[in-house]
Structure 1
Amino acid sequence: MGLHIGDTAPDFTVDTQNGEISLHDWAGDSWVFFFSHPADFTPVCTTEMGRTAQLAGEFEKRNVKPLGLSTDTAEEHARWIEDVNDTQNTNLTFPIVADADLTIAKLYDMIHPDQSETAAVRSVFIIDPDKKIRLTMTYPMSVGRNFDEILRAIDALQFSDKHGVATPADWREGKDAIIPPSVSDEDAKSRFPQGFTTLRPYLRTVQID
């Protein structure tokens, strides 16, 4: 059975190019962007690792730690990172899980046999500070991830947690949020004294600065 939103992210201890880490201890009080790629020294993966490194400041200001994974060794990761830095004009410092025996890839259901028996697909797990899985995405090997969407989704999760709201399609910071149907109008008036707009009884929008 695969992992579901709301599940506790399975802990593991593993080698990386930066040394051994244990997921839960390493994460601490941060969010985690845990993402897999098929293999080191491959083109799409090189651009994705480079983009993650380029966005280090964006992840940091959101209290998010990136963590990569492929079914290669830590030594291969270290050699490949030199290529990533050179071709993508960046400095990759986040850890990449070495999972040559597929243990963690199988634990997180990253091996899809129709794609490959030994290489991970492009999985994304957003894990919150309570170690709960809050969002998952899966891309095929041929399609690189959209990092604007990954950051947008993290923003939406953190915004929703902070304000007790939902976010509509294409939401970005500064746009109206949605008051969940579980919140009564009376409670909404108390929680959102700035007022809200009722489009339908089930669709109420609110601007939160």
Structure 2
Amino acid sequence: MTEANQVQMPRLNEPAPAFDAPTTDGRKTLEDYKGKWLVLFSHPADFTPVCTTEFIAFAKRHEDFKARNTELLGLSIDSHYSHIAWMLNIKEKFGVEIKFPIIADLNMKVAQSYGMIQPGASDTAAVRATFLIDPDGVLRAMVYYPMNAGRSVAEIYRLLVAMQTADENSCAMPENWVPGDAVIVPTPATPEAAMARAGEGYKTVDWYFSTREL
């Protein structure tokens, strides 16, 4: 791959790339979201069927995200006016109002800084990328989907809740964890701690695998 075609990718647990971009709700910067979680997600194009289903799903879960101190922010390389027309079309045709802003990234500056442009998929459209950014502006998760398969908004919400709960309780989450499930206790870091683990009151399968209820 030549240098010109290399995709710039952000990295987990480092500051998310800063942006200052026009949206359907005025200019937005990453700094505007300080103190809140942010779900920044890109889509290939307005007025396309798969993207429409995704936006409807995000809109229907918007209040759930807000209840978790989380804002939604969409992005595509379409124009500001295309975004507005599409939002109005979704409201008219599907009865769903899009209440979160959408970045009009015509110069692809934000998309490129987040690695949303994947030359193997398209040089002129952002793939279905989703980024979860914490209240300190740190990138905590990235999820990429291909052009022809819609992402799961329910899974993005589940991931958000899992990360928030892990942060609050100093634990890790097992596969497909949902609220109410047991969480994983941090693995002992010394032989002495490993020997003592069985007597610490957790549900212990072996020294490296223990769970507890929240």
Q: 1:28 offset after TM fit, Å?
A: 2.5
Q: Which residue of 2 aligns with 1:99?
A: 105
Q: Which residue of 1 aligns with 2:124?
A: 118
- Structure 2 segments unaligned to the other structure (5+ residues): 1-7
| AA in 2 matched with 1:154 | L
Correspondent of 1:72 among 60, 78, 102: 78
For residues 124-163 of structure 1, the C-alpha deviation after alignment (integer angstroms, 9 at most, x for no partner) is 1000001011111000011111111111100100000000
Q: Which residue of 2 aligns with 1:10?
A: 17
Correspondent of 2:26 among 13, 19, 25: 19
Distance 1:7 1:122 in 2: 21
The answer on whether the counterparts of 2:30 and 2:137 sit within 8 Å (CA) in structure 1 is: no
Distance 2:39 2:99 in 1: 14
Say which SS state the counterpart of residue 53 (structure 2) adopts: helix
Distance 1:174 1:157 in 2: 14
| AA in 2 matched with 1:142 | N
Distance 2:94 2:139 in 1: 30
Say which SS state the counterpart of residue 112 (structure 1) adopts: coil
Q: Which residue of 2 aligns with 1:47?
A: 53
Bigger shift: residues 64-73 or 86-95: 86-95
Say which SS state the counterpart of residue 74 (structure 2) adopts: strand
% identical equivalent positions:
37
Correspondent of 2:139 among 133, 150, 155: 133
RMSD (Å) for aligned C-alpha atoms: 1.8
Bigger shift: residues 158-167 or 179-188: 179-188
Say which SS state the counterpart of residue 204 (structure 1) adopts: strand
Correspondent of 2:205 among 196, 199, 208: 199
Q: Which residue of 1 aligns with 2:5?
A: none
The count of residues paired between Structure 1 and Structure 2 equals 203
Distance 1:167 1:197 in 2: 15
Distance 2:56 2:142 in 1: 21
The answer on whether the counterparts of 2:188 and 2:207 sit within 8 Å (CA) in structure 1 is: no
| AA in 1 matched with 2:173 | T
Corresponding position: 1:108 with 2:114: yes
- Structure 1 segments unaligned to the other structure (5+ residues): none
The answer on whether the counterparts of 1:50 and 1:85 sit within 8 Å (CA) in structure 2 is: no
Q: 1:86 offset after TM fit, Å?
A: 2.5
The answer on whether the counterparts of 1:179 and 1:188 sit within 8 Å (CA) in structure 2 is: no
TM-score, normalised to structure 2, is: 0.90
Distance 1:90 1:188 in 2: 51
Say which SS state the counterpart of residue 124 (structure 1) adopts: strand
Distance 1:22 1:149 in 2: 26
Q: 1:188 offset after TM fit, Å?
A: 7.6
